[in-house]
Chain A
Amino acid sequence: MTATVSRRNTVLTIGKYAALAFYLGFALFPLYWLLKIAVTPDTLIFSEGTRLVPSAFTFGNFMTVVFQTDFLAYFWNSLIVSFGTAFFTTLIAAGAGYAFSRFSFAGKRLIIAVMLITQMFPLLMIIAPIYKIVAGLGLLNSLTSLIIVYTAFNIPFATFLMQSFFDAIPKDLEEAAMMDGCSRFQALRKVVFPLTLPGLGATLGFVFTAAWSELLFALMLISKNDAMTFPVGLLTFVSKFSVDWGQMMAAGVLALIPSCLFFLFIQRYLVQGLTSGAVKG
Chain B
Amino acid sequence: MARIEMRNIAKRYGSVEVLRNVDLEIEDGEFIVLVGPSGCGKSTLLRMIAGLEPITSGDLLIGDERMNDVRPRDRDIAMVFQSYALYPHMDVARNMGFSMEIRGEPSDERQSRIASAARTLGLTALTERLPKALSGGQRQRVAMGRAIVRDPRAFLFDEPLSNLDAALRVEMRLEIARLHRRLGTTMVYVTHDQVEALTLADRIVVLNNGEVQQVGGPLDLYERPANKFVAQFIGSPTMNVIAATGAASTVLLNNGATIELPAPGDASAVVEMGVRPEHIDVVSPDDGDMTGRAEVVEHLGSDTNIYIEVEGVGPLMVREHGNIPAKAGDLVGLRVQPQNVHLFARNGTAL
Q: Chain A interface (Cβ within 8 Å of chain B)?
A: 170, 172-173, 175-183, 186, 190-191, 194-195, 281
Contacts and interface: CB of A to CB of B under 8 A. Distances in A.
Contact of A180 (B52, B82, B146): B146
A164 B83 CA distance: 20
A191 B78 contact: no
A179 B103 contact: no
Nearest to B50: A179
B346 interface: no
A172 B99 contact: no
B72 interface: yes
Given A180-B146, A181-B73, A175 B102 contact: no
B113 to A, nearest CB: 14
A180 B83 contact: no
A39 B74 CA distance: 68
A182 B88 contact: no
B45 to A, nearest CB: 16
Contacts of B146: 176, 180
A194 B89 CA distance: 7
Contacts of B72: 175, 178-179
A186 B81 contact: no
B177 interface: no
A281 B89 CA distance: 12
A170 B84 CA distance: 11
B77 A179 contact: yes
Contacts of A183: 71, 73
Given A173-B87, A175-B52, 12 more contacts: A172-B83, A173-B88, A175-B81, A175-B85, A176-B81, A177-B98, A178-B52, A178-B73, A179-B50, A179-B78, A180-B102, A191-B87
Interface in B88-147: 88-89, 98-99, 102-103, 132, 146
Interface string B275-289: 000000000000000
B79 interface: yes
B102 A195 contact: no
A197 to B, nearest CB: 9
8 contacts: A173-B87, A173-B88, A175-B52, A175-B79, A179-B72, A179-B78, A195-B88, A281-B132
A184 to B, nearest CB: 9
B86 to A, nearest CB: 8
Nearest to B102: A181
Contacts of A281: 88, 132
Contacts of B132: 281
Contacts of A186: 102
B99 A181 contact: yes
A173 B85 contact: yes
Contacts of B99: 180-181
A181 B151 CA distance: 13
